[in-house]
Amino acid sequence: MDQIFIAPFAHPFMGRALAELLVLGALAGTVGVLILLRRLAFMTDALTHTVFPGVVIGYLLGGEGGVFWGALAAAAAATAALLTLMTRHRAVTEDAALAVLLTTFFAVGVVLVSRESGYTADLTAFLFGRILTVTPQQLTETLVVTALVVAALAVLRRPLLARAFDPEGARAAGYRIGLLDLATNAVVALVVVAAVRAVGTVLVIALLIVPAAAARLVSDRLVLIVPIAAAIGALGGWAGLAVSYDASVHHGLRLASGATVVLVLVAGHLGALAAVTIRRRPPAARTARSTP
Amino acid sequence: MTAVGRAIVEAVLLGAVGGLISVRVLLRRLPFFTLAMTHATFPGVVLAAIAGVNLYLGSGVFGVLVVLGVLALSRRPEQGTTTAIGIVLSAGFALGVILLSARDGFAKDLTAYTVGQILTVGTGDLVAVSVVGVIVVVLVTTAGRRLTFRAFDPDGHAAAGYSPAGIDLALLLAVEAVIIVAVPAVGAILAVAVLVAPAAIARLWARDIPMMTAVAVATGAGCGLAGVLVSARYDVAAGGSITVVTGGLFAVSLAATAAWNAVGRRGGSRLARVAPGSTGGERRFRET
Amino acid sequence: MNTPTDPALELDEVTVSYGPAPALENIGGVVGPGEAVALIGPNGAGKSTLIKAILGLVPLVSGRITVLGRTPAQARREVAYVPQADTLDPEFPISVGQVVLMGRYRRIGPLRRPRAADRRAAGDALEQVGLADRARHRFGTLSGGQRQRVLLARAIAAEPGLLLLDEPFNGVDAVSEQALLNAVAVLKGQGTAVVVSTHDLALAHLACEEVCLLNRRQYGFGPTRLTLTPDRLRATYGGHALELRGDRVIVAHS
Ligand SMILES: Nc1ncnc2c1ncn2[C@@H]1O[C@H](COP(=O)(O)OP(=O)(O)O)[C@@H](O)[C@H]1O
Ligand SMILES: [Mg+2]
């Protein structure tokens, strides 16, 4: 165990990768609860793709250091565009608008990047991230974003909860729903931007959805769901990283680390699902309770 | 036929077939589900490539598993369908990536599967698109009315004695079939553009389903053609240029119809009533 | 500012419209502190619209609404609204106690933890609707009538000057209906004005001193005994056959 889960992180680059994943896993697990409560999985996935042109443009203009700001600008533009698109036109349903936005933004990135010669490598980096080359500066940026997001969530937790539970009632109580939704989108966008460079789109969406879903299976009390989701996110990151390292170094099987983390998380979720299903038998009782 | 000629035929055919099915995807509110299916079909393609079996067969079998996976996960009420779809989506994509990463030449293959390579399609691919096209046309012409009924009023549809499972399965399998033929051309991530955007554009202009279908088919085919020409002229990835053309057309349509509606509202109720697509069909039904 | 003798709610020639035709026209009336008014009218009459206008959530085409001496938007902190429980997600991971505490959120503010006074107010409110023993249960595990009571408890915990209830008795069992009525009576005793939309004439007689008969226009506004006459009801419910059996309206749609 020690051999797999502790020893590899003695290498500085592995230590940094672990630190980045622990922070991102806990952060995304926490924000994921908000996404779960608001049923925003689709919007989140759209955001993970709409930052891609930002990553490309940032890279073209500013090299490695430009990526963060480019992605941030694209995510902000996407969020704003999403909101206006959806609220303005009655003939546009939210899911259609999201699908069109997601693919169009992503395609803009593909078109831009395909003009470059080393284009396949760049695309790969975006889809997977480069967790093993995380720099101390990136780690700092991640910590700053984490502090921002945690502060925002701490201040807004009550309005956000009220809005998620009962939009009409929250509006009647005088909360500005539009502003709260903007804040929600901004928080999700920030996490996506902070994470996408290190872990790639595939892992971001998984980190934002799977830990919260698993935590919701285990508990129906919000005070427990949030820390459980954060813990699952962090632990999944650790285990996935360790397994992919071990497989590559000791077994000659190269496994992309980001994707390994996703599969570890999904396996954990399925485990929780199985455990809960077995414990809650017989299912007849549930159906009886949920009928009004 | 030259490679560009084949690419044009493929893009136009795929655009028309995608446009036809996209109307059903939109009405039945399946865009996110379709997105998950495209992502989760991806490991099927990779597995088939590794095992050396037919790509269409491999991804087809996998796609059916995906449909079942989402349906099973979303049965838990506290999870909600969107969460279940999100989980299946990321799991499927990660599985494809893992499988690929264990192989050599990984970055290049990954690109081919995620954003497509329409310039390498062969005659076999054209035949596959045509076959799927015939299947979709048959489905829409024979079961169009039931699909509409089911999408508009699920309870009424069941109360009328129809089996929802049958029609749902038929639609999902048709969607999966279109995804499978779209992936080699435009890739797993961009395939959803072919399967959603034409109807989203058509919905802005058309007032009823037949007109919406006609506009969607024409839009899909037109964007396919324009996208390949742009791609050949400026040497950019074709999957990307097709999608950007489609997305641009959506933005233009949105602006144009919004402006039209604004003029209509200011000009009084008579004008507003004839503004294209300005009233959602459901709303009007509910009010009568 | 508002003194106890000022009316809690004044409607002055209120007209609201969503499209070309108005949804409500020239609605007028006054509700004093501790009084309750029942909004009575068929589906689509504009009852929910009037309640949203009192909350300041839909703009007025003309006329004026004064709530506790202020505009609706300014008065919102002292107005509580009870939505219909069946519009809420039964799977939401939130306990009954937390839902009731939401009524105190505007007082607690963003950073402070709930004080003992807030917890006591929430606990008392839950007690009043007879669900004190359910505080730790998940909201979604309660019956429809019980959920409605929890939402009323949330409104009570806010200690409002004006309480708005939109058809709170639809699909509610007799026990819950009684609990709701008792809680409303206690609030009125504390000086809270109540506006409740309903189809139930018996309820109007029991709990409300005033009624407002609505169907796009106003067909009457005044003391319950004088206003709830068969003639006026027939006018309100249009040409549909209408029967008054006991105290309930029975509407036969043609
Ligand atoms: N958001 C809205 N947009 C357009 N029309 C609306 C809206 N809400 C209500 N209406 C219309 O206003 C009228 C009154 O509705 P409502 O206030 O909900 O009636 P009630 O609550 O008495 O059943 C109805 O004809 C309804 O169709
Ligand atoms: Mg109503």
pLDDT in tens, A216-266: 988 989 899 999 999 999 999 999 999 988 888 888 777 888 888 999 999
Residue B225, pLDDT above cutoff 80 = yes
Q: C247 falls in which pLDDT band (50, 70, 90)?
A: low
Query: How confident is residue A117, by pLDDT bands cut at 50, 70 and 90?
Result: low
In the prediction, which pLDDT does C207 show?
85
Q: How far is A169 from chain C (nearest CA, A)?
A: 6
Ligand nearest to the CA of C45: 1
Given a cut of 90, is residue A189 above it in pLDDT?
A: no
Mean of the pLDDT values across residues B63-69? 78
Handedness of CA A40, A45, A48, A54 (dihedral sign): negative
Predicted TM-score of the model (pTM): 0.80
User: Which ligand 1 atom is the nearest neighbour of the CA of C58?
Assistant: 1
Cβ(C198) to ligand 1 under 6 A? Answer: no
How many structural domains is chain B composed of? 1
C-beta atoms of B80 and C91 within 8 A:
yes
Q: In a 10 Å sphere around its CB, with 0-12 CB exposed, 13-18 middle and 19+ buried, how is residue A177 labelled?
A: middle
Q: How far is the CA of A111 from the centre of ligand 2 (A)?
A: 51
pLDDT of residue C86: 77
Cis peptide before A211 (omega within 30 of 0): no
| Mean pLDDT of all residues in B212-240 | 92
pLDDT of residue B75: 63
Please state whether beta strands C22-31 and C9-17 pair in parallel, antiparallel, or not at all (unpaired): antiparallel
Ligand closest in space to the Cα of C166:
2
Query: Which of C24, C48, C50 to mutate for ligand 1's pocket (most ligand atoms within 8 Å of CB)?
Result: C48
- Residue at B267 is within a domain: yes
Q: Is the pLDDT assigned to residue B39 strictly greater than 90?
A: no
Q: How distant is the Cα of A284 from the closest Cα of chain C, in angstroms?
A: 15
Neighbours of chain C (3+ CB pairs under 8 A): A, B
For residue C226, the tally of other CB atoms under 10 A from its CB is 11
d(CA A137, CA B62): 41
> In the predicted model, what is the mean pLDDT of chain A?
83
Could you give the CA distance from residue A113 to residue A119 in angstroms, rounded to a whole number? 6
Residue scoring higher pLDDT (B148 or B157):
B148
Confidence at B74, pLDDT banded by 50, 70, 90: low
Q: Is residue A208 in a domain?
A: yes
CB of C45 closer than 6 angstroms to any ligand 1 atom: yes
Q: How far away, in angstroms, is C85 Cα from ligand 2 center?
A: 13
Among A31, A103, A219, A262, the residue to mutate for chain B (most B Cβ within 10 A): A103
Q: pLDDT at position A121, please?
A: 66
User: Taking CB atoms and an 8 Å limit, are A103 and B243 in contact across chains?
Assistant: yes
Among A43-57, A87-101, A119-133, B1-15, the least confident range: A119-133
| CA-based nearest residue in chain B for residue C92 | B78
Assign B138 a pLDDT band (cuts: 50, 70, 90): very high
CATH classification at residue B23: 1.10.3470.10
CB of C18 within 6 A of ligand 1: the answer is yes
Q: What are the DSSP E strand ranges found in chain C?
A: 9-17, 22-31, 36-40, 62-67, 79-82, 162-166, 193-198, 210-215, 217-223, 241-245, 248-252
Q: Is residue A283 part of a domain?
A: no
Q: Is residue B281 part of a domain?
A: no
Asked if B86 and B37 count as a contact pair (C-beta separation under 8 A), the reply is no
pLDDT value of residue B286 = 29
- The answer to the question of residue B270 being in a domain is yes
Å from CA of A156 to ligand 2 middle = 31
Our count of domains for chain A comes to: 1
Please write the tens of the pLDDT for every residue from C130-164.
999 999 998 989 998 899 999 999 999 989 999 99
Give yes or no for residue C236 CB within 6 A of ligand 1: no
Instruction: Provide the residue range defining the domain that includes A28.
Output: 2-278
Residue C149, min C-alpha distance to chain A (Å):
15
**The pLDDT of residue C3:** 54
* Interface check C20 vs B, CB under 8 A: yes
Residue C240 pLDDT:
59
Residue type, C116: A
Res A85: pLDDT: 66
Listed ranges B43-57, B193-207, C172-186, C196-210; the one with the highest mean pLDDT: B193-207
From the CA of C24, the nearest ligand is 1
* Cα B30 to averaged position of ligand 1 atoms, centre (Å): 29
Percent pLDDT > 90 in chain A is 29
A89 contacts on B by Cβ (under 8 Å): 204, 254, 257-258, 261
Of A67-81, A140-154, B174-188, B264-278, which gets the smallest average pLDDT?
Answer: B264-278
Q: Which C-chain residues 67-96 have CB contacts (< 8 A) with chain B?
A: 90-91, 93
Neighboring chains of B (3 or more beta-carbon pairs < 8 A): A, C
Residue C75 pLDDT class (50, 70, 90 cuts): confident
Q: Name the pLDDT band for B273 (thresholds 50, 70, 90).
A: very low
Cβ of residue C18 closer than 8 Å to a chain B Cβ:
no
Find, among B26, B31, B254, the residue nearest to A88 by Cα: B254
- Is A289 inside a domain boundary? no
Nearest to C82 by CA among C8, C149, C33: C149
Instruction: Note whether residue B72 is domain-resident.
Output: yes
Q: Are C93 and A225 in contact (CB < 8 Å)?
A: yes
- Position B133 pLDDT exceeds 90: yes
> A56 Cβ partners below 8 Å, 6+ apart?
A70, A109, A112, A113, A122, A126
Are C194 and C163 in contact, with CB atoms under 8 Å apart? yes
Give the residue with greater pLDDT, A213 vs A281: A213
Domain hosting B63: range is 3-275
Q: Could you tell me the domains of chain C?
A: 9-84+160-251 (3.40.50.300)
Mutation probe of ligand 1 site: the residue of C16, C49, C84, C198 with most atoms within 8 A of C-beta = C49
Supply the CATH number for residue A23's domain. Answer: 1.10.3470.10
pLDDT-based confidence at residue A286 (cuts at 50, 70, 90): very low
- Residue C249: the pLDDT is 55
> ipTM of this complex > 0.90?
no
Higher pLDDT, B83 or C54: C54
Tell whether B109 is covered by a domain: yes
Question: In sequence order, what are the beta bridge partners of B30?
Answer: none
> Is pLDDT above 60 for C24?
yes
pLDDT at B105: 64
Q: Is residue B171 part of a domain?
A: yes
Contact B277 A93 (CB under 8 A): no
- Distance from Cα B55 to the centre of ligand 1, integer Å: 53
Decide whether any atom of ligand 1 lies within 6 Å of the C170 Cβ: no
**Is the minimum distance from the CB of C199 to ligand 1 under 6 angstroms?**
no
Q: How far does residue C227's CA lie from ligand 2's centre (Å)?
A: 22
Mean pLDDT value of segment C186-207: 88
Give me the percent of chain B exceeding a pLDDT of 70. Answer: 84
Contact B119, B186 (CB under 8 A): no
